[in-house]
Structure 1
Amino acid sequence: MADAALSVRIQQGFQEEVDETKLLDCMKCGFCLPACPTYVETKNEMHSPRGRISIMKAVREGDIPFDDSVEEALDLCLGCRACEPACPAGVEYGSLLESARNVISREKNPTIKERAVKHTAFEHLFKDQWKMNSLVGSIRVYQRSGMKSIVDKLQLTRVLPEILSELESVMPEIQKRQYTAQSQNSSKRNFKVAFLSGCLMNTVFSKTNDSTILLMERLGCEVVEPKGQACCGALHGHSGELESAKENAKRNIDLFLEEEVDFIVNNAGGCGAFLSEYDHLLKDDPNYKELAEEFSNKIIDISSLLSKLDLFNYTLKTKNQEQYVLTYQDSCHLRNVNRVFEEPRDILKSVHGAEYVEMKDADQCCGSAGVYNLVNDEMSMKILDRKMTHVEDTQAQIVITSNPGCLLQMKLGIKRAGLENEMKALHIVDFINDYLEIQI
């Protein structure tokens, strides 16, 4: 139970930061309900978008005090934003949720453990790429030294929380980056692009980054990869750490706008959505408002760039004439924020030697949602298990996605369903690079 003073502070914070006009946009029509994964699982109105908006409004107006039930309702939201395209009134639910979480994070007195975790994550790992590289480098040593084999054999991960043990088991073999962008003949290029390499993508999924640059260059792009990039800030923003997110945004804007490029490319759906909303994040900053708009207007997901490069009009064939059944799991933010969903499907449908099968509810969240599967693991696994029933129905051999969190979650779902010998999960770029021949 929250104390009265905290409740007053949060009410005042909501009045200052949670936009009343946006709250009143909600007509309570209920179109969001079947789009919301947590409502689908619980059938509890407090766990629906319109229910959470009603709670925010009631706290803001002082009709109810802030307490543990309010915090639980907001924390249980995945932030997938599937409610936004479903909403006929165009309610900006994502910005309301971020504002509310920002107030709660600022006004609550965190425990020592919470303070330590946030400080380590947001002030070090996701702020300093060298520290992220060092941590992931340690994991690479652990994987390659034989320690992982010993740990697996002795089942030592059983001492960890179950979700951490399961995620450790599906972690990819970590590699160092092998490839950097090469200078191109500018007279032959299609576009000049800057590549945002990201945090986890550039460490845990470094091979995918290498494949992304190789593919863009092969299709005629001149690629630059600015040094000194910061984390996009998505995890900060979704966790109520908006000031830290703004710091990272400003650093990336300064760095990337030095480059005269047609597009700023990313290959992680969750990152891309946050990058495309830097203009909203910094709308009240007179020094960065216009720069943020310029930056956001140049953001493009790799599948959208491949579409602009007419990849699906080339002859795409599976290597060695292999035959595959494919399906696609949407990255929530790529679909719901950036409205990118046809482009990856167009590519997959054009592959000779592959049959594309659309998954039921492919647009619904897989339950990963940043660190959601760590902090709300019970709900995350319920959502994942429901997702896997639809995956199995496709009889696909390869599940394609476009976001690192989704990729790990789908790998975990495949393992939990006992399907490791029947299917695998791949990032769309790795599928194109490793499984296809492109006749240009």
Structure 2
Amino acid sequence: MASPYLSHEYLRLEKEYDAVTRCNRCGFCETVCPTYMVSGKETLSPRGRNQAFRDILEGKNPDPKAAGDIFSTCLTCHACTNACFSQVPVARLMSSAREVSGPKAPARWIEKAVFRLFLPRRRLFSVLVWPAFLAARLCRWLGFLDGVLPDVPLLFGPECPPRTGPPSRTATAVFSGCGIHYLFPGAARAFLRVMEKVDGGLVCSKPACCGLIPQSAGDPEGAKNLARKVIADFERTGAGTLVVDDDSCAGFMKGYGELLDGEPGAAAFAAKVRDLSQVLRERGLPEEFARGAFGGESATYHDPCQMGQGRKETRSPREVLRDLSGLKFVELEESDWCCGGAGTYCLKHPGLSQDILERKLENIGKTGAGFVVTQAASCLMQIGAGIRRKGWEGTVRALHLAELLEISRRGGVRSGRGRP
């Protein structure tokens, strides 16, 4: 039975209302929330956002659009939920909050059209992305958003290798996230090279958005539709494991069981998802990738939020880095502190994003590491931009784990002085 306090307008969000009312306003979340810690504003804390969403659901706020900035500034990094005794799922709640407070028509219709029409079809999505990348290169050339936009490529990531044999439940399927495919094609190629050595019988799960983009933008139904497509495409490969090159995608896909709320096959699929470091720990790092002569160069690791805070899976990348010959691993203080990238957050809220990144860069500087390793495109973009802004390009590099393994295969180089 629905709560008598829940507005009839939002009866479809009864589950979200039950979750948001679990918040007892204790304030423990504020000690770990990046946006609150850099702003000091109650409205930019998880507690403040929960209250704002509750006011909307109870009909106390007649203009939900006015609360849009409160919800859009959430990083959905999951840190607050981990600190919460009641385990209020703030990241999930913010998706619904953004849905009810999002842009008005026709802007909302256009946004949903992109999510429903283009994101499931990567080749069609590329038609939109390529002109945007040309514009981004022009902006950087003119000096606009320099230090925020990456050096976007004009060629995207490689296509997956063709299937060489019949489907097998022991086969491994690979999945390339949108960010790695479009923004870091070198990392996509390195990922495939490593995976081809791990399993010579790779198959390709049909590329599509995993659903994280619409989920973060306030279109939870669009996210669910994409999740169902990803599961169906994977099942058609006949493979037993899905290895994903982006930890933001992998962490989100590991949560399909909760996202799809018990739909058949969702939890079973989620249990088959791995990132690169996890599959390397399970099957072993091929010798040719472990032999690099790094000469005592050091590396540190940044945990992407979806995998670190969201899934609490942080061990395997560190173990892989420790296995590399001649490379010294240095732990990063607050390695799970969000870098402020969070997809397009750095473009929507550049001030907050840079303030959050500054703390990450300060901790990176303390390590003295020549390599900052991670496995998520938005983190690579954000940390890389910070390194450029600091003028550290000659001594520090932000790399995908697969790129570092490719450097190791080629014999090792020193930090920013070499290229894979």
* TM-score normalised according to structure 1 size: 0.82
Name 1:372's counterpart in structure 2: 345
Per the alignment, in what secondary structure is the counterpart of residue 179 of structure 2? coil
Residue pair 1:14, 1:103 contacting (<8 A) in 2 also:
no
- Could you say which residue in structure 2 is the equivalent of 1:429? 402
Shift of 1:332: 0.5
Equivalent runs, 1:204-223 vs 2, <5 Å: 204-220=183-199, 222-223=201-202
Are the counterparts in 1 of residues 176 and 244 from structure 2 also a CA contact under 8 Å?
A: yes
Question: Residues 118-267 of structure 1: matches in 2 within 5 Å?
Answer: 118=111, 121-135=114-128, 156-158=141-143, 160=144, 162=145, 165-168=146-149, 170-171=151-152, 174=155, 177=158, 180=161, 183=164, 191-220=170-199, 222-227=201-206, 229-267=207-245
Alignment counterpart, residue 386 of structure 1, candidates 355, 359, 372: 359
Q: Secondary structure at the match of 1:201?
A: helix
Q: Aligned partners of 1:183 and 1:322: how far apart in 2? A: 39
Q: How far 1:414 sits from its partner (Å)?
A: 0.1
Conserved? CA contact 1:190–1:220, under 8 Å: no
Matched residues in 1 for 2:328 and 2:166: separation?
37
Q: Measured at CA, do residues 292 and 26 of structure 1 come closer, stay the same or move farther in structure 2, by a change above 3 Å? A: same
Q: Contact 1:334/1:341 (CA < 8 Å) preserved in 2?
A: yes
Aligned residues: 405
Moved more, 171-180 or 194-203: 171-180
Change (3 A) 1:173 1:352: farther
Code of the residue aligned with 1:299 in structure 2: it is V
Give the Cα–Cα distance (whole angstroms) in 1 for the partners of residues 96 and 331 of structure 2: 35
In structure 1, what is the equivalent of residue 331 of structure 2? 358
How far apart, CA to CA, are the structure 2 residues paired with 1:109 and 1:139?
A: 23
Partner Cα distance (1:40, 1:221) in 2:
47
**Match of 2:320, SS?**
helix
* Matched residue SS, 2:181: coil
Output the CA distance in 1 between the equivalents of 2:211 and 2:156. 24
- Corresponding residue number in structure 2 for 1:310: 284
Distance 1:175 1:59, change over 3 A: closer
How far has the Cα of 1:212 moved from its partner? 2.0
Q: 2-side partners of 1:32 and 1:23: how far apart?
A: 14
**Structure 1 stretch 69-78 or stretch 377-386: which is displaced more?**
69-78
Paired letter, 2:82:
P
* One-letter amino acid of the counterpart of residue 401, structure 1: T
Task: Please tell me whether the aligned partners of residues 13 and 103 of structure 1 are also in contact (alpha carbons under 8 angstroms).
Answer: no
What aligned pairs does 1:105-124 form with structure 2 within 5 A after superposition? 105=102, 109-110=104-105, 116=110, 118=111, 121-124=114-117
Match of 1:4 in 2: none
Deviation (angstroms), 1:433: 1.9
Deviation of the 1:219 alpha carbon: 2.3
Q: Using the alignment, how far apart are the partners of 2:156 and 2:218 within structure 1?
A: 32
Identity rate, percent: 26
Question: Aligned letter for 2:243?
Answer: V
What residue is the counterpart of 1:6 in the other structure?
A: none
Contact 2:324 2:408 in 1 (8 A): no
358-367 or 204-213: which moved more?
Answer: 204-213
1:169 and 1:58, CA in 2 relative to 1: closer, same or farther beyond 3 A? closer
Letter of the 1:274 partner, please give it. F
8 A contact 1:192–1:221 mirrored in 2: no
In structure 1, the partner of 2:388 is 415
Report the more deviating stretch, 203-212 or 300-309. 203-212
Give the equivalent residue in structure 2 for 1:298.
Answer: 272
Structure 1 stretch 42-51 or stretch 307-316: which is displaced more? 307-316
What is the deviation of 1:137?
5.3
Verify the 8 A CA contact 1:401 1:426 in the aligned structure 2: yes
Give the CA deviation at 1:175. Answer: 5.1
Deviations 1:94-118 (A, max 9, x none): 222222222333xx524x56654x2
Partner of 1:7: none
RMSD of aligned C-alpha atoms?
3.2
Q: Which runs of 5+ in 1 are unaligned?
A: 1-9
In 2: Cα distance, 1:29 partner to 1:333 partner? 24
1:169–1:27 distance in 2 versus 1, CA, 3 Å: closer
Q: Using the alignment, how far apart are the partners of 2:51 and 2:152 within structure 1? A: 39
**TM-score normalized by structure 2?**
0.85
1:273 equivalent to 2:251? Answer yes
Deviations 1:273-297 (A, max 9, x none): 222223333338xxxx103233222
What is the CA-CA distance between 1:413 and the residue it aligns to?
A: 0.5
Letter in 1 for 2:83: A
Q: How does 1:33-112 map to 2 (within 5 A)?
A: 33-67=30-64, 70-105=67-102, 109-110=104-105
Amino acid at match of 1:308: E
Please say which of residues 297-306 and 197-206 is displaced more in the overlay.
197-206
Q: 1:41 to 1:79 in 2, by over 3 A?
A: same
Deviation at 1:231, TM superposition (A): 1.1
Aligned partners of 2:160 and 2:203 also within 8 Å: no
One-letter code of the match for 1:397?
Answer: G
Aligned-partner Cα distance in 1 for 2:154–2:325: 29
Match of 1:16 among 9, 12, 17: 12
Work out whether residues 191 and 221 of structure 1, in 8 Å CA contact, stay in contact via their aligned partners in 2.
Answer: no
Distance 1:67 1:178 in 2: 43
Quick one: distance in 2 between partners of 1:198 and 1:411?
18
